[in-house]
A and B are shown apart, each in its own frame.
Chain A
């Protein structure tokens, strides 16, 4: 599946894209919210990893914009953030994210997420629990 990765820190997007490729998926990289929105329209990804604090357009704004864009509004979005407070997570869900994954990355959690969203029939149930 096509996985869109939006993160302004090159190390983060590089790492995530390589891990995604290692699991057999095709990563697309965006450096900010504007690019993420454009690439989402262009590639219609199956899953999006969204860093929430990015320049130009934040992950919150990009998520809201995607949720209002026809054809891609249903795309699963996973917030990937270093903000670990409960209130921060709540803000991610309010913006329209399906799950929250906190930095630093948990390899096991990532594998489970990729497996979950790659499996057929996943759209019947979206579990918002992203683990703590």
Chain B
């Protein structure tokens, strides 16, 4: 298990080297073992044959001395053999089984001689030969030798095999390493290229293909893949560039639009100054003279001028909101006072259509964190809409606290019994320039910007405007914003604290 793991952790080149070397070592070792076995057996056989030939030759010569019981002659014949180094013992036995001549430590081998041992036994070689006189067996001759030549040959054999193994295995390892290196090189360049792509994202470099084998094909496919990726990337980049360009164009157009609206607001205000100013002047002059015959007409001109100014202000507000240039002046306000001021501004418009306006008791509510001008603007918008789209009905303003998304909010709920809206009309309601129905513009007037401004302002004060309505049954608009300033101590809230300090003194913030 541990070995498998260690093998897995080797590099591919090491694995291939190991595989190549292992297979060559295995075949070499098995060949060597086979060779050694063959050599061993043939040398063993040769040595025994030699000994047998010598024994048989001497047996022939010993025939006469044994027949004539001439011990001395027998000894003379055996002397040269007995003196040779490898001979351990010699025994010449007559037909009666008696020892006729002996040399060496014959007694040590008595039982083996008696047993008739012939061949290798206990590291010694027994060569046994029969002594004949004509066709009659007259004795037995046994030579016991130590086969030193055999062992010597075996040692040489082992040494040579070991040397050959060492040399060939080394050569095999070197060749395997080299071959594996050559095989691995393209794989390594693939890995390097991938690493390069990963680190730098550069898709331009390709790998040279030198072979048509599996690795060569892999490299080719990889090169193609790089090409595809860089093509895709170029396409994506092009699309991204186009998008960025389109976005820049759109942003520039939006800035131009906001600038245009700001300029227009300025240009429209200048003639309006004369319309409103001179009609006021004439009205004041005539009233001073006691001449009231045309005052009603002048008041119509004045109202139209004021109405036009209201529309211009709405357009300017929306362009400021869209350009992100509308800044809020948040402060702690008395809810009751805000409502009083709003109703005062609404004035006779509240009851113009024969409506009843009711304000629910708000005495249990104290303060709210809001921009006073913008909060009044929002409430005024909702109330004047309700009054505008209701005829001889009731418009009601309720103010109550409610937990929304874990924040305590103040809800200003304006409900009416007016014409109401369908689901389709509600869906389009907060889009700028959209009134519930284009015929509404003709019948009721207005830019259609009021509600979208109100909602944007509510959202800028971390609140929103909700609407429920049914065609013919009236509408309920709920404007809500958090009761307290956000608790985090970021820059915006600290500047809010500053502006609160400003407005709580007699000097309100300059840039109202």
Complex CA gap A61/B349 in Å reads 44
Which chain B residue lies CB-closest to A126?
B507
Partner of A15, one of B274, B305, B316: B274
Q: Is the CB of A15 within 8 A of B511?
A: no
B284 within 8 A of A: yes
Q: Is the CB of B281 within 8 A of A86?
A: no
B280 within 8 A of A: yes
| Nearest chain A CB to B209 CB, angstrom units | 66
Residues in B whose Cβ lies below 8 Å from that of A16: 277
Within 8 A of A (CB), among B69-121: none
Complex CA gap A85/B512 in Å reads 10
Known contacts A83-B266, A85-B325, A87-B325; is-contact A11 B507 (Cβ 8 Å): no
Complex CA gap A125/B507 in Å reads 10
Q: Mark A99-132, 1 if CB is under 8 A from B, else 0.
A: 0001111010000000000000000010111011
Interface hub of A16, A19, A85 (most chain B Cβ within 10 A)? A85
Partner of B508, one of A104, A107, A129: A129
B489 within 8 A of A: no
Which chain A residue lies CB-closest to B288?
A22
Complex CA gap A96/B309 in Å reads 28
| Nearest chain A CB to B349 CB, angstrom units | 18
Within 8 A of A (CB), among B224-282: 262, 265-267, 269-270, 272-278, 280-281
B510 within 8 A of A: yes
| Nearest chain B CB to A21 CB, angstrom units | 10
Residues in B whose Cβ lies below 8 Å from that of A93: 510-511
Residues in B whose Cβ lies below 8 Å from that of A85: 262, 316, 320, 325
Q: Is the CB of B510 within 8 A of A107?
A: no
Residues in B whose Cβ lies below 8 Å from that of A105: 273, 276-277, 280
Q: Is the CB of B511 within 8 A of A19?
A: no
Q: Is the CB of A84 within 8 A of B265?
A: yes
Residues in B whose Cβ lies below 8 Å from that of A89: 510-511
- Which A residues lie at the B interface, using CB under 8 A? 9, 11-12, 15-16, 18-19, 22, 82-87, 89-90, 93, 102-105, 107, 125, 127-129, 131-132
9 A–B pairs (Cβ distance < 8 Å), ordered by A:
A82-B265, A82-B266, A85-B316, A85-B320, A102-B269, A104-B305, A105-B276, A105-B277, A129-B512
- Which B residues lie at the A interface, using CB under 8 A? 262, 265-267, 269-270, 272-278, 280-281, 284-285, 288, 305, 309, 313, 316, 320, 325, 327, 373, 506-512
